[in-house]
Amino acid sequence: MPSNYRLTQWVQEMARLCQPDRIHWCDGTKEEYDRLMAQMVAEGRAIPLQKRPNSFLFRSHPSDVARMEDRTFISTPSKDDAGPTNNWVAPDELKAIMLRLYEGCMRGRTMYIIPFSMGPLESPMTKIGVQITDSPYVVCNMHIMTRVGTKVLRALEAGADFVPCLHSVGTPLAPGQEDVPWPCAPMEQKYISHFPEENLIWSYGSGYGGNALLGKKCFALRIASAMARREGWMAEHMLILRLISPEGHQYHIAAAFPSACGKTNLAMIRPTLPGWRAECLGDDIAWMKIGPDGRLYAINPESGFFGVAPGTSYRTNPAAMDTLWGNVIFTNCALTDDGDVWWDRMTPEPPPHLIDWEGQDWTPDRGTPAAHPNARFTAPTAQCPVISPDWEKPEGVPIDIFIFGGRRATMVPLVYEAYNWDHGVFLGATQSSEKTAATFGTVGVLRRDPFAMLPFCGYHMGDYFAHWLQMGDRLGDKAPRIFYVNWFRKDPEGRWLWPGYGENSRVLAWMCARVDGKVGAVETPIGLLPRPEDLDLRGLDMPPENLRELLRVDVDAWRAEIPDIERHLAQFGDRLPQRLREQLWQLQARLG
């Protein structure tokens, strides 16, 4: 047990509350991981995969398959501080509810204490957390997704601060009671709760993904975003990518997309443009601080990928596929007859027989997905074949370009650049995408997802927009350039207009040329668009009419979009920065 008084007192208090049979301090070693995984195999929770070394398949309960935004809470003393985009319950009320649930919730189970670091321990941007959980599945995932172990404990013993993260699956076991493969509580008892003023996370009832791996969205975004605002830095739902030109010039890009909208594919892009190379620095989270030279520097605080499996293939993301050769935890994928995993669009044709994500026989004529649409893989970042040698650089990398984007079948062009920082913040604040399987809700329905942070901002989003504007003021002429992309435009027959994937490097190259002042742009009501001749399309077999449509600004459609943007911004009331109101007025004026 460590000598950190605050930590030992908190663990003892939680042990008295949750009443586990045993307590285990995690050391982050391979031996610990292997022992817990062997235990879960023996208990029937994990299925070893014959085709992938040290890899395992888990199947969750059908009620526990995704983020649950309606069961996720930001608990601040004032409801207004949580804002209109978050679910709010007063701290005293929420704690009273959850303390009743936590009482005795770990009977019959082991309490695991996971000391973990978000970011390399030697980085000035790193933060430490300690998660208490009763799920060995969570422990093994946290081994991959964060830096767990005795080095973190030593930092805590030296006085490092930490974010307490309490988690339980919410299913105590009576003496002699047999466990189930995926324990979780009923939906109405699931709570993913954040107390940003205390830097505290309490999660109960779900064993899945970011609901249970509390270093992920809970710490890295919801709590960290509130910390970042107080401390003058940024915690963003962004990939980090290094693009290298044929001349060897490096450009660093941070990009925000809603989940399952191509973010991992872009993070691991293999450029098709001759002479260009790319390196992945992170696929999901960027923590950014202004460096001594006045530029914005980013680190990836995670050490693993928690990626959406369906749609990932050698055609769409060969680097991700090569990352998954072994040492991977798969969740809710289908199982092949020869002991491998499969998911939708992994291969051109599905196998003739599978065991689906619910453990049932499956054949292609079933008409249901073999893998859950939100099936996931948890894989070590270090295994990615295109990972940058600087991905753990303590000081981070300097960001040149921000990209926002979403999944829009119509109207939004392939790419355009913001006129200035305030306009770029407006683009991020009004970002929109058609819903995907990563969240509950109707697939295909449009929703505004500002900065891809709608489910993840730990405070009032109007204040979040103001923080972005303030960061721009501090950065001045050293601020990154801001662009907006849409890889998902379709023609009236529903065919993709842009090939996407590695071909997106052509769009990224135009952005880099804009940063260097090497190419011009066309002024339009919505922003600066490429001139057709400035996009390098050598070797790309694409009809000219596709490019014309991809770069067309439909003024009437944009005018029709204005009322929805107005409704979206109106919800933030008097906390919406006046500078964003002015951006809306300027857009309306340009549209005429």
The residue among 72, 158, 165, 86 whose CA lies nearest residue 118 is 165
Radius of gyration of the chain (CA): 24
CB 48 within 8 A of CB 40: no
The encoded tokens of residue 384 equal: 């990615």
Given the DSSP bridges, would you call strands 163-168 and 200-204 parallel, antiparallel or unpaired?
parallel
Q: How many residues does the chain have?
A: 592
**What's the distance, CA 1 to chain centroid?**
33
**What's the distance, CA 38 to chain centroid?**
29
What one-character-per-residue DSSP string does 66-105 give?
S--GGGEEE--SSHHHH-TTSB---HHHHHHHHHHHHTTT
The residue among 290, 292, 330, 280 whose CA lies nearest residue 310 is 330
Bridge partners, 296 (sequence order)? 290
Bridge partners, 240 (sequence order)? 254, 282
3-class secondary structure for 313-370? Answer: CCCCCHHHHHHCCCCCEEECCEEECCCCEECCCCCCCCCCCEECCCCCEECHHHCCCC
Backbone angles phi, psi at 354, to 5 degrees: -145, 165
Would you give the end-to-end CA distance of the chain in angstroms?
67
384 as an active site residue: the answer is no
Give me the sign of the Cα torsion angle 42, 43, 47, 52: negative
- One of 105, 261, 280, 457 is an active-site residue; which one? 261
CB 557 within 8 A of CB 526: no
Alpha helices in 342-460 (DSSP H): 421-429
What one-character-per-residue DSSP string does 166-195 give?
EEE-S----TTPPP-SS----GGG-EEEEE
The set of residues, in sequence order, having a beta carbon less than 8 Å from that of 578 and lying 6+ positions away, is none
Query: Which are the catalytic amino acids?
Result: 261
